[in-house]
A and B are shown apart, each in its own frame.
Chain A
Amino acid sequence: MSPLALTSFTATSAIGRGLDATLASLRAQRSGLAPCRFETVSLDTCVGEVAGIDEVRLPDGLSGFECRNNRLAWLALTQDGFADAVAQRAAHYGSHRMGVFLGTSTSGILETELAYRQRDAQSGALPRGFRYRGAHNTFSLAAFTQRAFELAGPAVVISCACSSSAKVFASASRAIEAGLIDAAVVGGVDTLCLTTLYGFHSLQLVARTPCRPFDAARDGISIGEAAAFALLERPEGPLDSDEVLLLGTGESSDAYHMSAPPPDGRGARAAMLQALEAARLEPRDIGYINFHGTGTPSNDAAEGVAVASVLGKDVPGSSTKGATGHTLGAAGALEAVICALALKAGFLPAGVNTTQVDPELPVNYLRENRSAPVTHVMSNSFGFGGSNCSLILARVG
């Protein structure tokens, strides 16, 4: 594929609002995971909650999109000058040439969960004012974002569980390459809700203590929430050496099981190989890998095998989910932005919480931050339904 530039990007998660706070937390190896106090949830687990979401006010005229997910989206979109960058590019290309490609797994389902507690005792009807289109529907996030920036090009939500917002980079790249659009707002947003907290609990995949990806004693995920966005477009003119490019994407399907990867990680392997091919790179070119690294015994084992088979066992890598939690449909975009920060700042983020790396896993897992210039990085995202996506990002020089 032709390289595309990430001309602006931003992220908000449990480790910070915006890039400066996120980078500071990563440098301090700080985790945002804390015992779950969310809503009425009574589970013995930790979550990566973003503070202050309920205080966020959506722009005037967009109250029809009120829900936790869109409030977090707006909180993130207003950091790091991202909104100004989108407006500037829309003025440059024309609003109908700007696409919106966003990932979410649960959209505004929390509002529906709460509405089901308030059904009419006689008729069973949902409370008045229930917002199907603006909150419940999976497309709500992209519709809200498109309206907030008054964009008029193609808009879509990709909802492939935990690979959703990695796959948006691939779809947006194709739309640019096909000439459908000139630039795209890509990203992902997922917020805490009862469906995922109780759902992962039912599968016995939730850890009690903050998750420990790739640890010998890892015992499950910690759920987090996040919003991350990037502006993707063709590079124009001379680029600064620390600008970030998307060089390759790879997508595959396991065709194996709804909620578990094949032990040999063959689907993950296929996605990584495809991303390398698209980027015209050799495995040795990759200087850091941001693992999907959820912290469940089987996920990390399969990913370790797959990564070792593609990149070898020496490439430094970490999962940043020990810091942010597993942000599900937002994870792909959040971790792409973390990779972009690593490229710009010349440092490899450690995986926090992990104290003893599983000796059975053939990986070079970073338990301490490392200062090192790195030019090419890979980020993995895998999801239920056997959906795999790998991204390769690079700095210009």
Chain B
Amino acid sequence: MSALTAGIESLGVLGPGLPDWPATARVLSGVARWEPAATVLPPPLSLPSAERRRTGAVVRLSLAVGLEATARAGIDPARLPVVFSSSSGDGQNCHEICEVLASSERQLSPTRFHNSVHNAPAGYWGIATGATAAANSLCAHDASFGAGLLEALCQVVVERTPVLLIAYDTSYPEPMRSVRPIPDAFGVALLLAPAGGTASLAHIELNLTEAAANCMDDPELENLRKLIPAARSLPLLAQLARGAPGCVRIDYLDGARLALTVSTCR
């Protein structure tokens, strides 16, 4: 295949002890120590109050990182196509639906039901930002970040348009937590644009490879990378945080990884 290329215009990050992209970049470039702490999800103030009350962690997380990335780039999110990708969607909501359906009443709440669709964050994103372009919502289990990046890059390359990628995962409550132990919420947004733009932070070139993915040097960050599918992005984020050119391989499917050649633009 010919490589897929794009510019990275800006980022948004939210995770445990990682409140935004600048703080995350300081940790990943070794300037600051990582102080693990539970992820703090901001209320989704961009939504009308009636909608705000209906949202769970996945909506708060995905809106927060998406809006951080668009604000950093100074781009109106209403103009952008968006690719959402998540391994598990809204695990809390799914758990509560299954509990109700296992009871004798089976009285589902309508809000719980419409929030159960995997693309609920995309729906709320549209309501919050007025974005009417295509929105996609993907799942590829542990490969969800990589699958989202591939979809976003194909859109950038074929449609010649900027695309916002938002990958996010939140933890399940028990009993699902025991079978899918995602420890905390982690989200990352990448604003991608056709290669050659002058405003880009970095330029990436993607190829599929069978070589193993890069790990994080810090054992605790490596743990995060392995336990949260969206955090499989960490080696790429670390490369971007260092602001240096280089090659980095991130996890994807059992038989394939994504090899990214990163060149910095400034």
Contact = CB atoms under 8 A, between A and B. Distances in A.
Contact of A155 (B101, B108, B178, B253): B253
Contacts of B117: 105, 159-161, 383-385
B114 A259 contact: yes
A356 to B, nearest CB: 29
Interface string B116-155: 1111101110110111111111111101100100110111
B124 A156 contact: no
In this complex, the member of A133, A152, A385 whose beta carbon has the largest number of chain B beta carbons within 10 angstroms is A385
Interface in A167-194: 167, 170-171, 174-175, 177-181, 194
B127 A256 contact: yes
Contact of A387 (B89, B108, B122): B122
B113 A199 contact: yes
A40 B134 CA distance: 38
Contacts of B170: none
Contact of A198 (B2, B108, B253, B256): B108
A174 B101 contact: no
A284 interface: no
A155 B140 contact: yes
A164 to B, nearest CB: 8
A259 B126 CA distance: 13
Interface string A304-331: 0000000000000000000000000000
Contacts of B72: none
Interface string B171-212: 000111011100000000000000000000000000010000
Contact of A385 (B109, B126, B175, B255): B126
B115 interface: yes
Contacts of A256: 126-127
Contacts of B175: 119, 123-126
Interface stretch (A15-23, A134-142, A222-230): A134-142
Interface stretch (A236-244, A247-255, A368-376): A247-255
A155 B253 CA distance: 8
Contact of B101 (A180, A198, A200, A203): A198
A180 B4 contact: yes
Nearest to B150: A154
B116 A195 contact: yes
A385 B137 CA distance: 10
Contact of B110 (A112, A203, A257): A203
Contacts of B134: 170, 251-253
B31 interface: no
Contacts of A385: 117, 119-120, 122-124, 126, 135, 137
A194 B151 contact: no
Given A130-B179, A253-B131, A386-B126, A202 B107 contact: yes
Nearest to B78: A255
Contacts of A133: 141
Nearest to A143: B141
A199 B108 contact: yes
A339 B240 CA distance: 47
B27 interface: no
A174 B155 contact: yes
Nearest to A95: B255
B264 to A, nearest CB: 24
A113 B256 contact: no
Nearest to A115: B98
Nearest to B138: A156
A210 interface: no
Contacts of A125: 174-175, 178
A253 B115 CA distance: 16
A96 B88 CA distance: 26
B118 A160 contact: yes
A270 interface: yes
A170 B134 CA distance: 11
A229 B240 CA distance: 40
A284 to B, nearest CB: 26
A174 B133 contact: no
Nearest to A180: B1
Contacts of B179: 126, 130, 132
B2 to A, nearest CB: 5
A123 B116 CA distance: 26
A270 B102 contact: no
Contacts of B151: 156, 171, 174
B218 interface: no
Contact of A180 (B94, B99, B129, B154): B154
A287 interface: no
> Which 3 A-B pairs rank lowest in CB-CB distance, beginning with the nearest?
A385-B123, A199-B113, A255-B126
Interface of A: 96, 105, 109, 112-113, 115-117, 119, 123-126, 130, 132-133, 137-140, 142-143, 152-161, 167, 170-171, 174-175, 177-181, 194-195, 198-203, 251-259, 266-267, 270, 383-387
16 contacts: A109-B94, A112-B94, A137-B141, A157-B138, A159-B138, A171-B136, A177-B154, A198-B106, A199-B97, A202-B109, A252-B133, A258-B124, A385-B119, A385-B123, A385-B124, A387-B119
Interface of B: 1-2, 4, 54, 78, 87-89, 94, 97-99, 101-102, 106-110, 112-120, 122-124, 126-127, 129-141, 143-144, 147, 150-151, 153-155, 157-159, 174-176, 178-180, 208, 253, 255-256
Given A124-B175, A155-B147, A202-B107, 7 more contacts: A116-B98, A133-B141, A180-B4, A180-B154, A385-B117, A385-B122, A386-B127
